[in-house]
Homo-oligomer: A and B are copies of this chain.
Amino acid sequence: MNTFGELFRLTTFGESHGPGVGGVIDGMSPGVEVDLDFIQHELDRRRPGQSALTTARKEGDKVEILSGVFEGKTTGCPIGFLVRNENQHSNDYDNLRNLFRPSHADFTYFKKYGLRDHRGGGRTSARETIARVVGGAFAKLALRRLGISITAYTSQVGHIALPGTYADLDLSLVENNPVRCPDEKVAAEMAKLIAEVKAEGDTIGGIISCVVKGCPPGLGEPVFGKLHARLGAAMLSINAVKGFEYGAGFAGVTQRGSEQNDVFVRRSDGSIGTLTNRSGGIQGGISNGEDIYFRVAFKPVATLLREQQTVDIAGNAVSVKARGRHDPCVLPRAVPIVEAMTSMVLLDSYMFYSRYKC
């Protein structure tokens, strides 16, 4: 299942060490100006080698648009795109051909398909997310016209967590540091931890938070296509994600209803809104016009630059140590991916919402 979405649909392809990674966007709103610099900028946010915190691999990741754009505007026809792979060191992976790396998908792909491309993780490589970022960039261009904005940021790395809520933060500062944490001081601590972990040949997990502003009430398709169910599925489809919560989330289970309920009030402009927003902007699976916010848990990367025990295809005990260039912490580079998936869910939901406008 390499297609995401129903009305705005992204279909992706590509492995780490094949010719390239790309996809097809189907259902894009026609007549939208295509800001190629913006799209490339989004890709650059995801690219390796941005800082000392991420893998030192150099990947240009230049996107070529193959269709669906005419004289600078989307035509409503499918948008094919391709990012060529380059700078591959396939030999770095020769030792992995016949063994199953711990907590990777080597074993499960082999069991499911009967064979696998072992080079760089093949389809399970995070390079797959390039196509998500391109899809999300197009979705953002459409959402921008609707006044909807999406901002994700690193809110926790290991045990170092931002205190308070997103409302305490200045989200315009996210891009000011390589960790993509909008609090400079906390960001520095996170960076320090990542550097330590890296020095040990180890990896570390964390949490990305995401906030949507400007979403009108009405998005989401109960009972199975609830907006948060779609957002959850989108986030859980990203490599290394282990959990999703929105609004009061897991912490809210200790609360009483009287503590967690959001009271409705009439605002000064006459509109109806809630006094608090523990619901996270979604009630009954439909956006209520308040800010939408949610959190996504990422496990530590499975690839370690240290020796680990495992078995080969025949079941013989072997040890494995990654070669090559790998991220000690995926959080900083996953921020644009979280935003991309969120954008696609929202645009798709907006199109569902618009279908009754007849």
Asked if A243 is an interface residue, CB under 8 A from chain B, the answer is yes
Q: How far is the CA of A108 from the CA of B215 in the complex (A)?
A: 13
Enumerate the 7 nearest inter-chain pairs by beta-carbon distance, A residue then B residue, closest first: A105-B284, A243-B245, A1-B225, A13-B80, A203-B257, A108-B286, A233-B233
Contact between A224 and B1, CB atoms less than 8 A apart = yes
Residues of B within 8 A of A254 (CB): 158-159, 205
- Copies per complex? 4
Inter-subunit contact A263/B308 (CB<8 Å):
yes
A218-257 toward B: CB 8 Å interface, digit per residue (1/0)?
1011111110111011101100001111111110111111
| A19/B242 contact (C-beta < 8 A), A2-B26, A108-B218, A124-B222 known | no
Sorting the interface of chain A by its residue count into under 10, 10 to 19, 20 to 34 or 35 or more gives 35 or more
Q: Counting CB contacts under 8 A, is A164 at the interface?
A: no
Contact flag A356-B30 (CB < 8 Å), given A102-B262, A112-B217, A263-B308: yes
Cβ distance A257 to chain B, nearest Cβ, rounded Å = 4
Interchain nearest-CB distance for A299 vs B (Å): 5
Are A261 and B302 in touch, CB under 8 angstroms? yes
Asked if A24 CB lies within 8 Å of chain B CBs, one says yes
Does A14 touch B at the CB level, under 8 Å? yes
**Contact, CB under 8 Å: B356 / A357:** no
Check A256/B103 contact, CB under 8 A, given A108-B287, A229-B236. Answer: no
Closest chain B residue to A8, Cβ basis: B355
List the B residue with the shortest CB-CB distance to A143. B358
Scan A279-319; emit 1 where CB is below 8 A from any B CB, else 0.
11011111111000000011111111010111100011100
Query: Which listed residue (B2, B108, B202, B311) contacts A78, Cβ 8 A?
Result: B2
Interface status of A149 (Cβ within 8 A of chain B): no
- Whether, in the assembled complex, A4 has its beta carbon less than 8 Å from a beta carbon of chain B, the answer is yes
Q: Which residues of B contact A355 (CB under 8 A)?
A: 7, 27, 351-352, 354-355
Q: How far is A197 from B255 in the complex, measured between Cα atoms in Å?
A: 11
Cβ-defined contact, B66 with A358, below 8 A: no
Query: Do the beta carbons of B26 and A11 come within 8 Å of each other?
Result: yes
Chain B residues whose C-beta falls within 8 Å of the C-beta of A256 in the assembled complex: 158, 197, 200, 202-204, 300
CB-CB under 8 A from A236, the residues of chain B are 226, 228-229, 232-233, 244
Q: Which residue of B lies closest to A105 (CB)?
A: B284
B104 touches A284 (CB 8 A): yes
Query: Shortest Cβ distance from A65 into chain B, in angstroms?
Result: 8
16 contacts between A and B (CB under 8 A): A1-B223, A11-B78, A14-B66, A23-B80, A78-B123, A107-B272, A108-B218, A205-B255, A207-B250, A224-B233, A226-B237, A253-B297, A253-B298, A255-B299, A266-B311, A270-B315
